[in-house]
C-alpha cells in the first residue's frame, strides 16, 4: 500500500514537472560576469537586475568573460555612459533559453563599469519597447509594454530596442498623431531583438518620438525594417 502511494506520488511529481516545464515558458534574463577568460575566476551573478555602478560590488573594470540568457548592455563608465559617450557592448544571447558564454574582446576586457538588461524582467521573449536618451543605448532609458502617449524621454530619444516579434508604430506628436514610422523587427522567427543603434539612421530625427502604439496600425506610417543582428557581443558607443 505504502509503495503504491509512493509510486503515485512520484508519478504525480513527474507529471507536474513536465507540466511546469511546458507551461512556464517564461525565462528571466540572467548574467554571470567572470574576472577570468573562458568563464573562470571570480564571478558576479545578476538575475533581472541592473547595476549603475560595479565598484560597490568590487567588480569594476574586472570582467573578461560572461555567460548570459537574454539581452544585456555593458558600459565602459558608470551610469550607462550617461555623462560621457564611451565604449559599450550589447549582447543578444542566441536561442533564448540556453546559456550563452563569450569572452569580451581585448579592447572591452576589464572595462565594464555598469550593466543593464533589456526588456521584461520576467520573460526574455515578452513584447517590449525600450527608449534610450543617447545613441547605442547609452544614458537614461524608459521601458514600455504597451501604447504610451507621452514618454518623459521624448526630447532626447536617440536609440531603441524592441524585444518580441511585434512591430511598434512611433509618432512625432503626442496622442498618436503626426508623422509616424512603423518599426518592424525582421528576420527569422527566433526571438532576436531589434536593435536600433541610432534612430536617425532610420530617418527618425533624435528627440522626436512623442507617442507610440504596439503594432503596425497606421497605413500612412513609414515602414522601417530592422535587420536582426547575429547572436553574440556587438560593439557600440565610441566605435573601435
Ligand atoms: C580559452 O579557451 C580557448 C579555447 O578553448 C583556449 O584556446 C584559450 O587558451 C583559453 N584561454 C585561457 C586564458 O584560458
Ligand atoms: C561563482 O563563484 C562561486 C564562489 O567561488 C562558485 O561557487 C560558483 O560556482 C561560481 N559560479 C559560476 C557560475 O561559475
Ligand atoms: C553621472 O550621472 C549620474 C546620473 O545620470 C549622476 O548621478 C552621477 O553623479 C554622474 N557622475 C559623474 C561622475 O558625473
Ligand atoms: C537551442 O536550445 C535548445 C534547448 O537548450 C537546444 O536543444 C537546441 O539545440 C538549441 N539550438 C541551437 C541552434 O543552439
Ligand atoms: C585584465 O585584468 C587581468 C587581471 O588584472 C589581467 O591579467 C589581464 O591581462 C587584463 N586583460 C586585459 C585585456 O587588459
Ligand atoms: C495615422 O496617421 C495619421 C497621420 O500620420 C494620423 O492623423 C492618424 O491619427 C493616425 N491614425 C491612427 C489610427 O493612428
Ligand atoms: C520558424 O520556426 C520553425 C520551427 O523551428 C521552423 O520550422 C520555420 O522554418 C521557422 N520559420 C521561419 C520563417 O524562420
| Per-domain residue ranges of the chain | 28-117, 124-230
Out of 18-27, 139-148, 186-195, pick the least confident. 18-27
Q: What is the dihedral of CA 28, 74, 170, 140, to 10 degrees?
A: 110
Number of other CB atoms surrounding residue 140 within 10 Å: 15
191 alpha carbon, closest ligand: 7
Query: 52 and 64 in contact (C-beta within 8 Å)?
Result: no
| pTM for this prediction | 0.83
Q: Whose CA is nearest to atom 5 of ligand 5?
A: 62
More confident residue, 19 or 132: 132
The per-residue pLDDT for 185 is: 84
Is pLDDT above 80 for 3? no
Is pLDDT above 60 for 18? no
* Residue ranges lining ligand 3, Cβ < 6 Å: 79, 82-83
- Distance from C-alpha of 154 to C-alpha of 12, rounded to nearest angstrom: 53
- Distance from C-alpha of 13 to C-alpha of 15, rounded to nearest angstrom: 5
Mean pLDDT score, 175-203:
86
Alpha-carbon distances of 97 from 14, 93, 138, 188, rounded to whole Å: 21, 9, 26, 17
- Return the CATH superfamily for domain 124-230: Crystallins (2.60.20.10)
94 alpha carbon, closest ligand: 4
For the 28-117 domain, the top CATH level (class) is: mainly beta
Q: Whose CA is nearest to atom 3 of ligand 1?
A: 38
At 11, the pLDDT band (50, 70, 90 cuts) reads very low
Ligand 4 pocket test, candidate residues 22, 25, 70, 98, most atoms within 8 A of CB: 98
Is pLDDT above 50 for 209? yes
Domains 28-117 and 124-230 equal at CATH topology level: yes
- Distance from C-alpha of 93 to C-alpha of 185, rounded to nearest angstrom: 17
- Distance from C-alpha of 73 to C-alpha of 161, rounded to nearest angstrom: 11
* CB-based burial, 23-32: b 16+ in 10 Å, e otherwise: eeeebebbbb
Amino acid at each position: 500500500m505504502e509503495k503504491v502511494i509512493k509510486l503515485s506520488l512520484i508519478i504525480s511529481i513527474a507529471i507536474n514537472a513536465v507540466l511546469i516545464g511546458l507551461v512556464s515558458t517564461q525565462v528571466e534574463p540572467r548574467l554571470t560576469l567572470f574576472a577570468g577568460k573562458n568563464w573562470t575566476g571570480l564571478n558576479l551573478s545578476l538575475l533581472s537586475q541592473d547595476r549603475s555602478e560595479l565598484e560597490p560590488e568590487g567588480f569594476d573594470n574586472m570582467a573578461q568573460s560572461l555567460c548570459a540568457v537574454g539581452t544585456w548592455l555593458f558600459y565602459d563608465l558608470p551610469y550607462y555612459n550617461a555623462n560621457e559617450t564611451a565604449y559599450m557592448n550589447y549582447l543578444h544571447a542566441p536561442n533564448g533559453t540556453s546559456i550563452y558564454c563569450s569572452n569580451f574582446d581585448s579592447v572591452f576586457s576589464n572595462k565594464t563599469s555598469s550593466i543593464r538588461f533589456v526588456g521584461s524582467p520576467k520573460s526574455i521573449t515578452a513584447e517590449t519597447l525600450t527608449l534610450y536618451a543617447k545613441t547605442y543605448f547609452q544614458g537614461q532609458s524608459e521601458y514600455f509594454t504597451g501604447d504610451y502617449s507621452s514618454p518623459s524621454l521624448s526630447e532626447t530619444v536617440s536609440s531603441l530596442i524592441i524585444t518580441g516579434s511585434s512591430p511598434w508604430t512611433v509618432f512625432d506628436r503626442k496622442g498618436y498623431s503626426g508623422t509616424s514610422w512603423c518599426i518592424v523587427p525582421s528576420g527569422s522567427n527566433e526571438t532576436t531583438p531589434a536593435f536600433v543603434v541610432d534612430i536617425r539612421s532610420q530617418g527618425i530625427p533624435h528627440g522626436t518620438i512623442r507617442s507610440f502604439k504596439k503594432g503596425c496600425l497606421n497605413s500612412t506610417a513609414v515602414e522601417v525594417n530592422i535587420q536582426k543582428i547575429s547572436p553574440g557581443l556587438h560593439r557600440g558607443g565610441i566605435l573601435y
